[in-house]
Structure 1
């Protein structure tokens, strides 16, 4: 049997859950929506808000008039005057000359001050977020390790700095049926060979030995598929650069549990006690040798 790395098979997308009955409002949890939004969308929303507010006040200036040297009925002049007021950049030839307009100017100046403070806080909060650059292998494998069938996958810190006191937990989710015939999802924590790392910097192979007492003991690919098993991996630690807590999570469906394969070696020793970590092989799989106790990969497996 060839030991050449095998490309990882394409996995199905996780099921999409549609929720009915949950309150849905545009302005609900705007702060969290902003923090979760990608930067282009977040900055675009700020620009749209700025333009919308200035258009609104420009309409008010058109209704009240009272802007010196502004062309009568000119929305452009009213808009530019509104921008000068909200941005507090100072007036040129246009300035307020009536009481109602001066009240509008004061109101817009206060609104502009509040909006500037709010936007500054939002952008700073989003910019200061510490996001984990953690890479999980596309598949989790079950293969013999020291003669014991072991569930294994790899994680890598793409940023290359250190995540201090990293803790990794693995949870198995499967469908079960009660004596009353009720089907529900139940979660179980899997015991790992090592679940803590004092300083996680590059690569970490996570292992769960499938021994008597393990929830996976005696299972087969068919039984895992029938139980709709999912493996959820979560990592939490402290970024040693920002000293903020970072976390990452990945879910493996039953189609992403590969039997009888192991992950290709990515750490190689060179002359002078130097090592090379080849992340190009991070997702590659190598078939293991079937045994009587562990007959995987089977010839019928694809």
Structure 2
């Protein structure tokens, strides 16, 4: 009989067609309400967002700063920094480009502040520029130096004949060229079912695996859970397993050579990704000189089982 495990932090309560509490890549899928924010959240926000959004925010902030100060120079009189060109737009462009030179501390010398007010604004803007670029430099270092796993998982789960029973399988690999040292995995099965009162409730099981830890991994690891009489899936038929409202929550940790420390990654499978009576095709082969060649495109490729 399969032993239930305690709630791993997801919660027992659920409802019909409830969305997963985490995304496939392990990121949170929880909407927060009334959460208090503080200045320390800025660092986490800028480190965790995508590179595209990171540089987009920098460009937008840089542009808005220069627009604001460009308008400020026009407001105090563009003559404070250079001769007027007769139109608002032309004067604004002079103010905008002078602001860009001041903010970045480039200072080409073609335009320079002459009055007290212009000098005060330029001095204040230069200070903001120094602080801003120091902040951005720190964020860039934080983003590059943040230890992060880079695992790829097969897009599908499979159930196939295995020994005298059947087995649930998926594959994973390192998307980097480094070798994963002592990778270890924990797989938790979550099944949402109706109780006697007609209410939906999650049941959790820690799945026993053929191997949950190996010495090192240079290629691909096929993780196998044998569906024997001790498995929580043993009581279900293949069709019932396919229709289960169930998730696999994976926690993998290993020593990453790139950062010289242990890294973690979470992943989530839904049983809608399940395929029956297929097997994974080999993803590694040998070249003419005998070296192992690993094809990343074959991680999720399957073929029908021989009857």
Q: Same fold (TM over 0.5)?
A: yes
Q: Does 1:95 align with 2:112?
A: yes
What's the offset of the Cα at 1:53? Answer: 0.6
Secondary structure at the counterpart of residue 255 of structure 1 = helix
Return the match for 2:238 from 216, 221, 228: 221
Shift in CA distance, 214/280, structure 1 to aligned 2, threshold 3 Å? same
Shift in CA distance, 68/207, structure 1 to aligned 2, threshold 3 Å? closer
Q: Does 1:154 align with 2:166?
A: no
Q: Distance in 1 between matches of 2:122 and 2:298?
A: 63
> Residues 160-179 of structure 1: matches in 2 within 5 Å?
160-179=177-196
Flag structure 1 segments of 5+ consecutive residues without an equivalent. Answer: 1-13, 291-302
Which 10-residue stretch deviates more, 63-72 or 101-110?
63-72
Q: Distance in 2 between matches of 1:59 and 1:273?
A: 67
What's the offset of the Cα at 1:164? Answer: 1.9
| Contact kept in structure 2, 1:154 and 1:205, CA below 8 Å | yes
What's the offset of the Cα at 1:138? Answer: 2.0
Q: Does 1:75 align with 2:87?
A: no
What's the offset of the Cα at 1:75? Answer: 0.7
| Contact kept in structure 2, 1:191 and 1:208, CA below 8 Å | yes
Secondary structure at the counterpart of residue 89 of structure 1 = coil
Equivalent residue, structure 2, for 1:200: 217
Q: Give the alignment's Cα RMSD to 1 decimal.
A: 3.1
Equivalent residue, structure 1, for 2:47: 35
| Contact kept in structure 2, 1:264 and 1:285, CA below 8 Å | yes
Which 10-residue stretch deviates more, 274-283 or 152-161?
274-283
Shift in CA distance, 87/268, structure 1 to aligned 2, threshold 3 Å? closer
Secondary structure at the counterpart of residue 264 of structure 2 = strand
| Contact kept in structure 1, 2:169 and 2:222, CA below 8 Å | yes
Secondary structure at the counterpart of residue 221 of structure 2 = strand
Return the match for 2:33 from 22, 29, 36: 22
What's the offset of the Cα at 1:286? Answer: 3.3
> Residues 100-249 of structure 1: matches in 2 within 5 Å?
100-249=117-266
Q: Distance in 2 between matches of 1:273 and 1:85?
A: 60
Equivalent residue, structure 2, for 1:61: 73
Q: Distance in 1 between matches of 2:95 and 2:170?
A: 62
| Contact kept in structure 2, 1:232 and 1:249, CA below 8 Å | yes
Secondary structure at the counterpart of residue 252 of structure 1 = strand
Flag structure 2 segments of 5+ consecutive residues without an equivalent. Answer: 1-17, 22-28
Shift in CA distance, 124/70, structure 1 to aligned 2, threshold 3 Å? farther
1:3-36 CA-partner distances (Å, limit 9, x unpaired): xxxxxxxxxxx95888667248999944334333
Number of aligned pairs? 277
Secondary structure at the counterpart of residue 33 of structure 2 = coil
1:236-282 CA-partner distances (Å, limit 9, x unpaired): 22211222443334332222222322222334578997655454543
Q: Distance in 2 between matches of 1:260 and 1:30?
A: 48
What's the offset of the Cα at 1:207? Answer: 1.0
Which 10-residue stretch deviates more, 107-116 or 264-273?
264-273
Secondary structure at the counterpart of residue 215 of structure 2 = strand
> Residues 279-298 of structure 1: matches in 2 within 5 Å?
279-288=296-305
